[in-house]
Structure formats: C-alpha cells, structure tokens
A and B are shown apart, each in its own frame.
Chain A
C-alpha cells in the first residue's frame, strides 16, 4: 500500500469514467451518429473491463502478494458469475430464437396435418 499507488488508481478510474461518459454524450448529441452504436457498445464494455482491472490492482491490491487461496475463491466467484450471467444470455437468446421460429408450433401443425390425412 502506498499513496502513489492509490493516487494513480484514482486518476485512472476517474479518467476512464469521464471518457465513457463523454463518448455516450457525444453519441447522443450527434443524433446517434458518432461514435456509431455498434462500435460504442463493445468499446464501453472494454472500458468497463479496464476500470475493473484498475480497481482490482490499485485499490484491492491484487497482485504477487495475494495468497493462492484468495485467488482460488476469486476464480470460483468469477466462474459462477460467468455461468449465471452468460447462461442467462444464452437461454434468453434461445427463447428469442424459438419465438421467431416457433418450432413447437410447426411440430403441432405437422402432427395435426398428419392426423387429418
């Protein structure tokens, strides 16, 4: 722990926040033209990831001195987080897809049609 480390972390985290906010404002004030939506969203996600890393290194002091059990618990929590959040997106995506394609409805109609014959 040192003053310099905290100060660096603080400046970096403020800078990342201001850049992210500025880009969104620019996007809104340019009538959703610049930066383009498709570019802005992944860029904001990358900025958030950088912010998380800055916080972890400069404030939580994750590094060489962190014990392996702490890493283990962190890794486990991140794994569960990935399963829960990623799995939700996966399932919601499939449901969306299912609604568009209606496989059950098709199956139902086919069965119905074969009964009529």
Chain B
C-alpha cells in the first residue's frame, strides 16, 4: 500500500516535470523577445537570487532531517526541522514576491513583453508550487503536533519531502538557465 501511494505521487511529480519542461521551452523560445524593452541582463539582480538558492537548498536539507527524525520516532525534532523548513521556504517566497513587486513597479510586469510573460509564468508557477507546499507543510506540522508520529503522518511527511526536493531541483534549473544565463547575455 505504502509503495503504491509513493509510486502514484512519483508519477504526479514526473508529470509536473513535463509541465515545467513546457514552461522552460516557452522561456527559451521567447527570452529574446523583449519588445524593445530591457532584457534579462539589465533586469536581473543576482544577489537576492543567490540568497534564494541558498535558502531553498538549506530547506531541502532540513526537510530531509525532518524525515530522518520521523523515521527515528523523534516527534519534537521532526516538528523543529519542519518549522525550520517552512521558515526558509517563506523567506524564499518573500524574496520572490519582492523581486516581482520591484519588476512590476518599474513598469516591467508580465504584460510588457513576451520575454517577461514567459519569465513570470515560469518563475511564478514554481513559486505557486512552493506556496502550496508551504501550506501543506503547515497542515503536516499541525497533524504531527496533534496526532503524533504514526504510519499515516510519516507517510504524508515522506511525500511532502519528495515534493519539496523536486521543487528544489526545478529551482536549480531556473537559477542556472534563467538567471545565470540571463545575466550573461
């Protein structure tokens, strides 16, 4: 039963991977279509993006710690690691919202060029996944705090961990192919 559920979730993650492939392909095709406006090199600011990457990588590590603690039936440590993960995730989202806000305030919102539409669609979809993941994590923490660690809560935590690692992997691709390559143009 456990194996089947994990496999089903794995199939979902892989179909999500195909969704992101479409968004990456769209971005790759449109990244030069700036409609006379500023391109990636002029718009991106790498320092907050590096901070975002470090936050997300660290959160991927702490969610791993939470799964290990759950395996060892250590409830307090599991909750502590999940709260740390959630905090890091929210920090990441805060930086992303700030970046989007700055771009839109400067008149370079998603409506100003095909390049920016593709950029907001790709990075925004990832952010939306992460926001839903954070909500899920909140529910997971409440579950474990109220009901303790038993088979059902541990299994849900494992799926959440998989989801979180997956989002980390997508972000790695965004970091290199959107931000680093963008700044080099």
Contact = CB atoms under 8 A, between A and B. Distances in A.
Interface of A: 1-3, 6-7, 9-10, 13-14, 17, 20-21, 24-25, 27-28, 37, 40-41, 44-45, 47-48, 51-52, 55-56, 59-60, 67, 69-70, 73-74, 76-78, 80-81, 84-85, 87-89, 92
Contacts of B71: 1
Contact of B11 (A20, A52, A73): A73
B68 A1 contact: yes
Given A17-B53, A59-B165, A80-B18, A10 B28 contact: no
Nearest to A3: B68
Interface stretch (B91-99, B101-109, B125-133, B173-181): B173-181
B146 interface: no
Contacts of B25: 84-85, 87-88
Nearest to A23: B180
Given A1-B71, A60-B162, A6 B64 contact: yes
Given A3-B68, A20-B180, A24-B46, A55 B18 contact: no
B172 A55 contact: yes
Contacts of A47: 176
Contacts of B135: none
* 10 tightest A-B CB contacts, nearest first: A77-B14, A81-B21, A48-B176, A88-B25, A10-B61, A6-B64, A59-B165, A84-B21, A77-B17, A85-B25
Interface of A is mostly: helix
Interface residues of B, number: 42
Interface centre among A9, A51, A92 (most CB of B within 10 A): A51
Contacts of B176: 20, 44-45, 47-48, 51
Contacts of B175: 17, 20
Given A17-B175, A81-B21, A59 B60 contact: yes
Contacts of B172: 13, 48, 51-52, 55
Interface in B153-182: 162, 165-166, 168-169, 172-173, 175-177, 180-181
Given A52-B172, A84-B22, A92-B29, A27 B7 contact: no
Given A21-B46, A44-B176, A52-B172, A77 B18 contact: yes
A45 B165 CA distance: 20
